[in-house]
Amino acid sequence: MALVQSRWVASQLRALSPGTEVELVEVVTTGDRIQNVPLSQVGGKGLFVSEVEQLLLDGRAELAVHSLKDVPAELAPGLVLGAVPLREDARDVLVTAQGEGLDDLEAGCRIGTSSLRRSLQLRRQRNDVEYAMLRGNVDTRLKKLAAGEYRAIVLAAAGLRRLGLFDRPLWPVPVEISVPAVGQGALAIEARADDASTLALLAQLDHAPSRACVEAERAFLAALGGDCHTPLAGHARWLDDGQRLRFDGWVGAIDGREHVRASADTWLAAGNAQLGEPMHKLAQEVAQTLLARGARELLAQAQQAAEASRDPRRRD
């Protein structure tokens, strides 16, 4: 996936600046190497990002391409998001042999996902099936589905589209059932804050509505104080041909017993060119509503559980 995304960015840069030489520097991150345990137990999403960021800071690369959902709320000092290209479909999808929806699956069947966020939300719709851990790249996961190890698997729609694998039996999960992860479906192109020439080139790849959405989602994440260990979701989107803005937020208890959810929307005033400001306000409104409904306690419990899972002295 990382190579596909990086090659796409490289092709876009070559088209924007003919004659520009673009070299791909491949990095196998810790997150890529560890496949047998949940990410929350070994350091979380930052495992896919920190080693790549170090190449930028060391001057061994001018830009880095990430799936934005893997980027921590705070970037390394000296680095900025140089561009957020047009966002792909941010939804989760349920992949099966025949394309059944969640309600079509038989009780007791096995659904594979590596995401606590996904399994907790889907469990509220179907609590009579088994949600089992599934790691590996997309191709590996699809092979496990084909081999019958799982009745269904849950993936990101954006990843399947970028890999050219979307033309298969699947069911897009409505946002009303599973709110996507912060930044899901978007690419983040990171660069050094003092690299003016690279930032000028990347600015041509930036898609303002997509950036407004993901920056609002990241502000939502910061307002809640969430991290990779906490099951939460935040999704900003444009509706009615870009005239209406909507933000959905969700926080769940790590044991699945409780959750809080909130949404807000607003119409965009005619001629308003400040796309980020109204979306940011919606994100803050939803974050405060969730906190008032008990999200802070759920987040604290998740953080304590994550710390206990990494500390053998605190295990039973």
Q: Which helix (H) or strand (E) holds 309?
A: helix 295-310
Sign of CA dihedral 68, 175, 306, 216: positive
Measure the CA–CA gap between 26 and 20, rounded to whole angstroms.
19
For tokens 């934005």, the residue is: 68
For residue 131, list its beta bridge partners. Answer: 111
Q: Is 70 among the residues known to form the active site?
A: yes
For tokens 């912060």, the residue is: 182
Parallel, antiparallel, or unpaired for β 110-112 and 152-156? parallel
Token pair for residue 18? 């003919």
Q: Which helix (H) or strand (E) holds 132?
A: strand 130-132
67 CB-contact burial (10 Å; exposed 0-12 / middle 13-18 / buried 19+): buried
The residue count for the chain: 316
Catalytic residue among 58, 70, 139, 227: 70
Q: How far is CA 181 from the centre of its chain?
A: 4
The set of catalytic residues is 70
